[in-house]
Every structure is written in C-alpha cells, then in structure tokens.
Structure 1
Amino acid sequence: MDYWLIFFVFTGGLLDVASAQIRQYYFLNIPVEWTTAQTICRTNSTDLATIENTADISAVLSTTTYAGKAWIGLYDDLLNSWRWSLNDSSFYGERETEFRNWQSGQPNNLNGQQYCVELVGGSHNGTWGDIECTATRHFVCYNGTVNGNVSYVKINNFLTWTEAQRYCREHHVDLASIRNQTENDIITNLTGSDFVWIGLHREKVWSDGSTSLFRHWATGQPNSGQERCVTTAFSDSGRWSDDNCTNSFPFICYLTISFRLTGQNETSISLQWNKVNNYVNFILQFNGTETNFTAPAGDGPINHTVSSLTAGTRYTFTVFSVFENVRSSGVSITAVTAPTNTVSFRATGQNETSIRLQWNKVNNNVSFILQFNGTETYITAPAGDGPINHTVSSSRLELDTHSLSSLCLRTSEAVESPLLQSLLQSTYSTSAQQDKMRPVSICSGIK
C-alpha cells in the first residue's frame, strides 16, 4: 500500500485532512432587500454569507473593489432566537422551552442591543421585557428540586446578566428557567415588586443556521431595534452595522465546496471537488495558469489530475467557483508530490546480532523511515553529501544466526532472509506532521 504525506492550507474555511468544507464568497452588485438577497443566494448557491472569523472577513473583502455596504446573513429574529441558559434537554417537557410571558410591545430590541430578559414584579404581574445584558439587576437562580418541586433562590446582588449567570452556575444550578405559568407565578411571588434577571437570552442569528458568535461591529453598532438585518461596509475594513431589512443593498453569497486531494505520485497530483449546480462553473489556478471547468452533467464530483510535476516538491492549487461571471474568493490546497526513491540501499556488514545498512542521501529536504520487523525508525536528512549509515541491533537477530550461516556458506549470491528484509521509506520533510510515503522494498544481501 502507498502512503502519502499531504499538507493542506485552507482559506476562510474549516480544516479537515480527508475532506474540507470550504466557503467561497461572491459579491453580487444587485441592490435588493435582505429577504430577496437571501432567496437569490439560496437558489443559486448555499446562502447569504456567514462570517465566522477574521480570515472570512479578508475573504469577503477580496471579492470586490466596491466601497459601499452589502448584506450578509446575520439578522434579528425577535421571536425564535431566544434560548434558556439552562440547556439540559431533560429538564424541559414538550414545548416547555417555548413558554413566554412578554409585556405588551415586548420584545422590541430598543436601540438594537437588548439580548437578555428581566421579569418585572409588582403591578407588572411577572411579565417579561428584553433589556441590555450590561444592565444590573437582582436575579433568580434555579436550585434544583426539593421533594419533587422546583426550587428557586432570589439573589439580592446587582449584577449584569452574564455575571448573574456565572454566580448561579457556581453556587446553584443556573439562572432560572420558566417552563409554564405556575413557575412564573412562583418566581413573581419570590420577586415581589423587583426587576430580576431570568435565564432567557438570545443572539442575532445566521441565515444558514450557523451558531457562530463571531462579531465585527462598527463603532456604535448595532444601534436600532427597527434595523434587524446586517450589512458589511467595504470602506470600513468590512465592519458591520444594522440596517432596515427593506433597504436595498448589494449582497454576498457563499458556496460550500468540498475540495480534496485524492492521490499523487512523483509526477502528478489528483484533485477532486463537488459540483454545486448547473449554473456554477470553476477555474483551477496553478503556477500562474488557469483552467476552466464547466458545470458537468449529473451530480458527481469533478476530478482532475495535474501532471508533469517534479518529485518531492510542494505545489499550491486554487479553485474558484464562478457564477454569472463573478468569481468567488477561492480556496487553496497546498500538497507535495512523492519524493523519488532512494538508491543504492545495501548491507555493508553484519554479525550475530546486528546488520549495518547504507543508502544514498537524496537532498536536504528528504528524510527517511527505516522499517524493520514491524518497527519504524525516523532518520533525518544528514548534513553534507555522504551516504546514510545505520546499524540495526536486536537480540531477535540471534534466532536465525545458524540458518544465515548455513545459507551464506552454501552460496555466494545475495540471500533473501526474512530477518534481512527492510523497507526504506523516504518522506518529504517539513515542520508539519510527518507521514509515510511510497516505500522502497529491497532485500539486503549477504555473501
């Protein structure tokens, strides 16, 4: 079996040695409302852009020289994005996570940053309102069950929502979850006329369902409860702001491309990536040249082998998906061809318990693995131009000493003994993880 050492470098994506799901971004200079942009992206690619890190920011910025704003996939869902701090599914019965007791007109996300919930006692009768999580309130912790009944504890310390959550988790179970009207009444009675934190909170959500909490807000943003969709500003390092969803802006879609290396030898590397749909074509960029690929018929992947390469050399390939003549941000894979096999692998001496081996150095970048009797020894490329010498010593060699002597006495030809069969495997040496390359199987000879 052949083994390969493969190095992958991914741009704006998730790393997986066997297969990588990569986001490729497109800028479409078609001013539309947010929901229309979402529909177009879902129809022709994967979705409106999800941005999960600074590398994604850079990839988005590279899609255009446009200097204005464009829609991305982040938006406010004031009804369906709420979650309880206590996320133990066994605690909730059917639909109990969905119980709500909002005040009239709530939630309203006033000023655009109200992501936490307070329960208001007194004349408000235990109704709820959304509020900035940085406000300070007394709070109610869930303290488990006592004799089969839920137990709550009111804490009369003024803390932010996050600080209250941490306190409850350290000293009790969690911030209070409210599953029904009965529990709401219990906490209302415990609260009196106070305003207290409960465990309900939310985040803005991504159109594709991603749970990423990465944010890249511009100064002072978000700032409006009525502006529930998000744009990125190309003139402000891609920073985000909230905008009215009915405004018209260009937008950024992304495609999910599975791009992988499927094999290589000394002179070629084979690549594979998935078809997206009948409208998306591809460009493969390599060594300053570009090859165009039209969307193939059927649903199968696209396979392509790049030939006439140099052994033991690192190469970078970039695939761009293309829709309506708009090129994506691209994804790059860097891989190496297998090095050439070593030559002049020989035994230079032996005694009852050891065998001395020698082989030629290839270059300063190629190291070696010597495999013997199920064990492997890693040998780095030595300094200088001389050969590599290595002695294998083991008491296991003593087991066949008599048979080796008999064989050597009977013939002057090289003898193929199981004890002398060694596999010399050359590997491409880098600071990355080492792996096995194409093995050279040579039987050492004894006269």
Structure 2
Amino acid sequence: MKKDNKTLYLITTPMNWTQAQTYCRYNHTDLASGLNQVDGEEMKALFAGRVMSVWIGLFRDSWRWSDGSDFSFRYWDMELFNDEQSNKTCAMTLLNRSGKWSSDECANKKPFFCYDDKIIPIKENKTWEEALNYCENNYKGLVSITNPEVQRWVQETAKNADSPYVWIGLSYKCTLGLWLWVSDYVVCYEKWATGGKTEGCDMSVGVDRGGQHEWFSRRNNETYNFICSKQ
C-alpha cells in the first residue's frame, strides 16, 4: 500500500521485534514508524478482515520509533495498555479489533509492517562531496528533484533536519556552465529562493529547513544534513 512517497508492506512470517527490525532494514527501509505510517485504517486495509496483532516500529526507550520519527502522537488502546502492559517494551498494533496500539514482550513472534521510502534523510553533517559519496555507496545517490512531487517529499524531510539546509544532488558544472543533477538530469523543475542562486565552480544546492523550503546555492565545503535517493 502506497502512502505519500512511502510503501507499506505486511510481512506475515512471525518474528520477534528485533528480527523484524533487522528484516525491514535489510529488505526495505525500516519497521513502520510515525503517525504518517502507523494509521490503523491504512493498516487494516491490508488485511481482508483477519484479526491479529502486528509489530510496529515503536520500542520502549522513553518510547521512540525505530526510524527516529517524532513520538508526539499516541494511539494506545487504554483498555489493554494497563500497568502490566506498560512495562512491556515493544509496541504492536491491534488490527481489526481497534487499530490502536498495545505492547508486548519483544521476544514474542508476530507478523509485522515494513515500509519503503524513496528518499532517505541522513542526519549527519557532511560536505557536498562527502554526502554524494555516502549516498552513492549506501543508496542510489543524492536526491534529484525533478518535479513538484519530489519537492514535496524533500520539504517534509527537510523540516526535521539538524542543520539549516539539507544537501540535494544539484551542483554547478563549470566545464558546462550549467546546473546539473547527479542523476545527469538537466534542470527542468526548479524552486530557487529569490536571490538564492549563485553560480560558481564550488557551489551546490541546499534546501532550506524552514520557510518555504526553497533552494539556495551553498559552498561545497559547508557541512549539512543531506537526502539520499533509493531509486
């Protein structure tokens, strides 16, 4: 099931929580995490009426998501989440009963939800070249924003960055005298900030974390978070 730029998968092979996390991180992106994924109605739509409890990516370390998503949202089933349950350390969603959450011992085996994300935020500060090498070694490359849909994905991701900008895969090529994506696409879609475009041999593009999440020329040796692409 697709939701925004993410695809949700139900894995029916029972595993404990740690095994499920490892499986999701190896085969997809991570266990389903955060409000934009852990939505009871979205999940129940994958089921065709079956009743079961399924691991999600929430574990007890002051309760935080496997992929680092913000945990300001709560959807506990309070009839089940009593004192005994609250001492258990991994969270599950209760499908076709309430769609809400409860907890269980992490060693118990259950089906689980993974998700795939087309873009991967990296909360490490690197120069543009370092970010480029990281994405090429671990994913496909730095993200190329070729249409408004990808821009929207990047905007949502940039909001949670630890730096004032996030690097994307656009840099100025002196030999050609033009801006070019690392994916070799020429720039058709663009969202430059007013006065934010400066051409130079050592310039690449960062997306503003705040404001309108527009594009700004930044020097390659500055260090920011960055966004990789998986496809």
TM-score range, shorter chain: 0.3 to 0.5
TM-score, L = length of structure 1? 0.25
- Bigger RCO of structures 1 and 2 (CA < 8 A, at least 6 apart): 2
Rg (Cα) greater in structure: 1
Give the TM-score of the pair, scaled to structure 2. 0.46
